Homo-oligomer: A and B are copies of this chain.
Amino acid sequence: MNIEIIKDKKNEEFSREKSINLITDYVNQSKDIDLQNHIKELHNADIADILHNLDPEIRIVFIEKIKSNFDPEILTYLNDSLRDEIVEELDVKQLASNSKTLEIDDAVDLVEDFEKSDQNTFLENIEENERKLIEEGLNYPEDSAGRLMQRNFVSFEDSWNVGQAIDNLRQNKKNLPEDFYEIYLINNDKRISGTVPLGRLMGSKREINLSDIKNKKTRKIKVNIDQEEVAFLFNKYGLVSAPVINENENIIGSITVDDVVDVIEEEREEDILKLGGVGQTDIYDAVINTTRLRFSWLFLNLLTAIIASFVISFFQTSIEKVVALAVLMPIVASMGGNAGTQTLTVSVRALAIKELNPTNAMKIVLKETFIGGINGIIFAIITSLVSMYWFQDIMLGLIIGLAMVLNLILAGFAGTIIPLTLDKFKIDPALASGVILTTITDVFGFLSFLGLASIFLF
């Protein structure tokens, strides 16, 4: 019974807190062997997780202790800022000699962020063959399929049968990629002619031709397309792997879904952060870095706030006469900003997943403007009644209501037309739409309300 429990323990799930406590103890008490044994039990992703959460002082000692057999794959799971920090503490030469099991796509992902000198040291200290592949990888544009692909894949002539394929796999055991889920078929011209899932291969009789069990369609990835496009294809067609081809349709690599999941997470992060007015940053970033990154966005916001104030300043005389205008004016602007942001969020998202496209763009703009109008009317009535009651002024109520309708219609229109326009000019709509939108709804909110008041109240 006791043995059973110990056995179970070996396969237990990762607990961050437990591991951190253990490692902190081992480090403090210099129990190096226990430390090494614990590390051996952990997945590299878990070690990265721990590095993120260890006390910085413990972390430095910890890295010192595991430095000599530090698996470079751990670095691929770290956030940029911590990765840079840890690479500085590591010996890049040593790291290179530990990189035998590193896949080429992971190596490219790692080396591309190294400083120039580290990059050279690393490349000089790995095998000739790998160096060449990594350098080739680095030659593809950033965020392209070429950077994502593994160079090791399995391809057979499409005239072979199942038996030949299985025998060949068994003979080449040592050269097989660590993970592969499909074999690729090539024709006489060395062009891709199909893909066969491993499961189907295993379940087929030896004498069946490979070309008879290939997938109906070959989903192939051009080496130069953007990783976002790769993720879109994998997601749309539920792919697990796909061959990467050059302009001659020769297979030059393979992308597997685990790399694509990373891309999707990365793009998701980017979308969310951009919509929130934050550049590429993370919670572990140094204070000075974070402050600087956020500054530019806030500065832009200050300029737009000053523009809005400038609009208000035209109506100082009106406000002096009826101070209720100052009390009520933020409501119109705020409602416009929020309604616009709703539309904007939906549009930016729909653009990203190609639900919003040239075919339906005008229809969606009209629809959103119309929705803005309906909500505008409802909120105009509510706001009018509140204002009339609050300030006992029917005219004031009517004016704020009219301003509200106008601003919400504009918000619906601007919330779709801004991202569509930016997208047309190849500017990322997630990044720039928000600030343009709120400038428009703020300025127009103040302008319409104070303007109408100046006309009708005096």
**Which stretch (A25-33, A129-137, A265-273) binds chain B?**
A265-273
- Asked if A349 CB lies within 8 Å of chain B CBs, one says yes
- Asked if A177 CB lies within 8 Å of chain B CBs, one says yes
| Minimal beta-carbon separation of A366 from chain B (angstroms) | 10
Residues of B within 8 Å of A378, CB to CB, are: 295
**In the bound complex, CA of A231 to CA of B202 (Å):** 28
Residues of B within 8 Å of A180, CB to CB, are: 199
- Asked if A86 CB lies within 8 Å of chain B CBs, one says no
| Minimal beta-carbon separation of A308 from chain B (angstroms) | 6
Q: Which of chain A's residues 308-358 have a Cβ closer than 8 Å to chain B?
A: 308-309, 312-313, 316, 319-320, 323-331, 333-335, 338-339, 341-342, 344-350, 353, 355-357
Residues of B within 8 Å of A327, CB to CB, are: 309, 312-313, 316
Mask, A425-449, CB within 8 Å of B = 1, is: 0000000000000000010001000
**Which stretch (A90-98, A138-146, A256-264) binds chain B?**
A256-264
- Asked if A2 CB lies within 8 Å of chain B CBs, one says no
Residues of B within 8 Å of A217, CB to CB, are: 11, 43
Q: Are B273 and A349 in contact (CB under 8 A)?
A: yes
Q: Are B277 and A342 in contact (CB under 8 A)?
A: yes
Q: Are A53 and B17 in contact (CB under 8 A)?
A: no
Counted per complex, copies of this chain come to 2
Q: Are A173 and B218 in contact (CB under 8 A)?
A: no
Of B52, B240, B271, B335, the residue contacting A257 (CB under 8 A) is B240
**In the bound complex, CA of A305 to CA of B328 (Å):** 9
Q: Are A278 and B43 in contact (CB under 8 A)?
A: no
**In the bound complex, CA of A374 to CA of B323 (Å):** 34
- Asked if A63 CB lies within 8 Å of chain B CBs, one says no
Of B176, B282, B284, B326, the residue contacting A312 (CB under 8 A) is B326
| Minimal beta-carbon separation of A306 from chain B (angstroms) | 7
**Sample (15) of A-B pairs whose CB atoms are under 8 Å apart:** A52-B355, A176-B203, A202-B202, A235-B262, A240-B258, A272-B275, A273-B346, A281-B346, A284-B355, A294-B339, A297-B342, A298-B338, A301-B335, A309-B327, A316-B326
